[in-house]
């Protein structure tokens, strides 16, 4: 399960599809169809798509909060999810998921929320607690550990939620428009912090966004889903050198070409 | 926002107003209709000296506490069972709605017919009263559990048992407390009505005995005692709420 063979991709989606509705073919509504995607260890993949293209559904499938109707998910060479297989949300703590809502437990303080994933696996040891404290500091909430979620701003709750996902160290982190509802300044700050964390923690990140700038600024690769049912319509390698400055990404050489390609795809103009 | 001092002041003014109204009524209507506060207070003191006050409170308190506890347990269990199985839910829900709409005090003759005049029908009446109130609050509480929190916990690696203990129970707790808060006055009413019927002790017994002797002061004494009991229990629940519910639940 934990082989780190570089030839085996970390995550592989094999003709993944999901549809809702009745048993007859004509009654079914297909959301995603024939999704093939290979993600390597340490990669930052951003996922875009017009609304309704199934971006969140794709993350839900990978997080196994939804079951696919067809295809398989292969994690480190093992089939972990597929049509008819039992669901294992979070894939045995291998896949972390930062959802659109922060989903912090409202009756626990930020610090208790941060320890929640650790406490599920038994009593947190000193190393765990040190890691939690360091993460709290890295997301800039050291002074807010004793506060309850409702006392925090939206951006702070997002940071707390991100720290909660990183604290138990899942190799893959899924993020669903985590910065969508934030003001531009907060968002730029969080993007920069996220890149730092990603580089420090060597995580593999799949990041859904509707913002082309964000997709280019963060990703090694941009995936565009489109159509109904959604399919992978475009896979674009982003060759802008790191470290990048998300706020000034539009000044980077090569940005314009990438931007135009993604926008054309999102608008449904084949090149 | 009213300051804490403002709230206290408002409460004091409210109390003074009620007592003034009571005293005025007593003067206007005469002590046979509405006895004065002083007379009722004197009665409280003399009953306390004799020890009957504490015996009455203890008898009613035990009846009230046992009935409430049984109703609480059965009511929340019933809600959980119905929520767990939609088949059982659909089968039983119409009957529960029907039984719920029966005024519980109207069942007193039936309970006496079945169980006689001992302790059982009295506890039964209190339990039934609490059961349906706690049931409906818990039932809607289960529907209000945030499924996103449940899923988040699952993704973070929680087992079903951990989901129940760490997400479901904390989410339900405020609803159970609200159920108790709503049920308390009804439970006490049920306890007192049950004591009217047959008992040698208790607040209801004291009121009924005073009525038989046309002792207005005695009836008022009983009412004051019953009110105090509800207020004390409400205070207890408020303290419980304050100490056990942290942060803010979305529905609060």
* ipTM field: 0.88
Q: How many CB pairs under 8 A join A and B?
A: 65
Count of C-beta atoms within a 10 Å radius of residue A259: 16
pLDDT higher than 70, residue B250: no
Banded pLDDT at A5 (limits 50, 70, 90): low
Taking the CA of residue B243 and the nearest CA in chain A, the distance in Å comes to 12
pLDDT of the residue at A270: 57
- Report the share of chain A in percent with pLDDT over 90: 69
CA-nearest residue to A115 within chain B is B156
> Mean pLDDT over residues A53-57, rounded?
92
DSSP string, B10-35: HHHHHHHHHHHHHHHHHHHH-TTTS-
Domains of chain A (ranges; CATH) run 1-94+170-271 (3.40.50.300), 101-169 (no CATH)
- Report the share of chain A in percent with pLDDT over 70: 96
Q: Which among A63, A106, A148 has CB closest to B155?
A: A63
Count of C-beta atoms within a 10 Å radius of residue A270: 6
pLDDT of the residue at B252: 40
User: Which residues in chain A have their CB less than 8 angstroms from residue B158's CB?
Assistant: 120
> Mean pLDDT over residues B194-217, rounded?
88
Do residues B218 and B206 make contact, with C-beta atoms less than 8 angstroms apart? yes
Q: Sort A214 into a burial class: Cβ within 10 Å, 0-12 / 13-18 / 19+.
A: buried
- Report the share of chain B in percent with pLDDT over 70: 97
pLDDT tens, position by position, A111-156: 999 999 999 998 889 999 999 999 999 888 999 999 999 999 988 9
Count of C-beta atoms within a 10 Å radius of residue A127: 8
Cα diameter, chain A: 56
pLDDT of the residue at B217: 92
pLDDT of the residue at A1: 45
Average pLDDT score over chain B: 89
Best interface-test mutation with B: which of A87, A93, A95, A107 has the largest number of B CBs within 10 A? A107
Banded pLDDT at A166 (limits 50, 70, 90): very high
User: Which residues in chain A have their CB less than 8 angstroms from residue B249's CB?
Assistant: 106-107
Best interface-test mutation with B: which of A103, A104, A161 has the largest number of B CBs within 10 A? A103
Q: Which CATH architecture has domain B35-244?
A: Orthogonal Bundle (1.10)
pLDDT tens, position by position, B98-120: 888 888 888 888 888 898 888 89
pLDDT tens, position by position, B143-172: 889 999 999 999 999 999 999 999 999 999
A99 touches chain B (CB under 8 A): yes
Q: Which among A90, A99, A148 has CB closest to B247?
A: A148
DSSP string, B48-114: HHHTHHHHHHHHHHHHHHHHHHHHHHHHHHHHHHHHH-HHHHHHHHHHHHHHHTS-GGGGHHHHHHH
pLDDT higher than 70, residue A6: no
Dihedral sign, Cα of residue B81, residue A107, residue A172, residue A262: positive
pLDDT of the residue at B251: 40
């Amino acid at each position: 399960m934990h082989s780190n063979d570089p030839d085996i991709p970390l995550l592989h989606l094999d003709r993944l599809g999901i549809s809702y509705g009745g048993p007859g073919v004509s009654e079914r509504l297909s959301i995603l169809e024939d999704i093939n995607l290979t993600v390597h260890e340490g990669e930052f993949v951003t996922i875009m798509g017009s609304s309704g293209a199934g971006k969140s559904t794709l993350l839900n499938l990978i997080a196994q909060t939804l079951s696919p109707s067809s295809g398989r998910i292969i994690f480190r060479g093992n089939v972990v999810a597929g049509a008819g297989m039992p669901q294992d949300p979070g894939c045995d703590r291998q896949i972390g998921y930062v959802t659109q809502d922060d989903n912090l437990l409202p009756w626990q303080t930020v610090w208790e929320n941060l320890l929640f994933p650790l406490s599920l696996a038994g009593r947190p040891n000193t190393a765990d607690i040190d890691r939690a404290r360091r993460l709290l500091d890295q997301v800039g909430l050291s002074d807010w550990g004793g506060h309850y979620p409702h006392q925090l701003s939206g951006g702070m709750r997002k940071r707390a939620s991100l720290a909660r996902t990183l604290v138990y160290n899942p190799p893959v982190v899924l993020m669903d428009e985590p910065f969508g509802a934030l003001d531009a300044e907060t968002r730029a700050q969080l993007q920069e912090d996220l890149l730092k964390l990603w580089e420090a923690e060597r995580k593999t990140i799949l990041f859904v966004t509707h913002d082309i700038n964000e997709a280019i600024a963060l990703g090694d690769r941009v995936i565009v889903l489109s159509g109904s049912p959604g399919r992978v319509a475009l896979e674009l390698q982003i060759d802008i050198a790191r470290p990048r400055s998300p706020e000034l990404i539009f000044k980077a050489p090569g940005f314009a070409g990438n931007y135009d390609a993604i926008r054309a795809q999102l608008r449904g103009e084949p090149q | 926002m009213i300051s804490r001092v403002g709230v206290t002041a408002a409460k004091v003014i409210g109390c003074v107003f009620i007592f003034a109204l009571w005293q005025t009524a007593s003067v206007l209507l005469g002590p046979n209709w509405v006895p004065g506060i002083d007379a009722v207070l004197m009665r409280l003191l003399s009953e306390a000296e004799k020890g009957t006050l504490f015996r009455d409170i203890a008898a009613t308190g035990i009846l009230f506490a046992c009935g409430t506890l049984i109703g609480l347990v059965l009511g929340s269990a019933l809600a959980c069972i119905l929520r767990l199985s939609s088949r059982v839910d659909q089968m039983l829900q119409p009957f529960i709605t029907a039984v719920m709409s029966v005024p519980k005090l109207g069942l007193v003759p039936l309970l006496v017919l079945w169980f006689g005049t001992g302790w059982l029908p009295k506890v039964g009446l209190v339990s039934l009263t609490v059961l349906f109130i706690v049931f409906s609050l818990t039932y809607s509480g289960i529907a209000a559990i945030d499924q996103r929190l449940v899923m988040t916990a699952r993704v973070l690696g929680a087992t079903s048992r951990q989901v129940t203990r760490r997400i479901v129970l904390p989410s339900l707790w405020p609803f159970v407390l609200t159920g108790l808060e709503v049920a308390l006055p009804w439970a006490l009413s049920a306890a007192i009505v049950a004591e009217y019927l047959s008992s040698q002790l208790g607040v209801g017994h004291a009121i009924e005995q005073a009525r038989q002797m046309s002792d207005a002061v005695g009836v008022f004494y009983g009412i004051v005692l019953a009110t105090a009991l509800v207020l004390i229990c409400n205070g207890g629940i408020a303290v419980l709420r304050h100490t056990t519910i942290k942060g803010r639940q979305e529905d609060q």
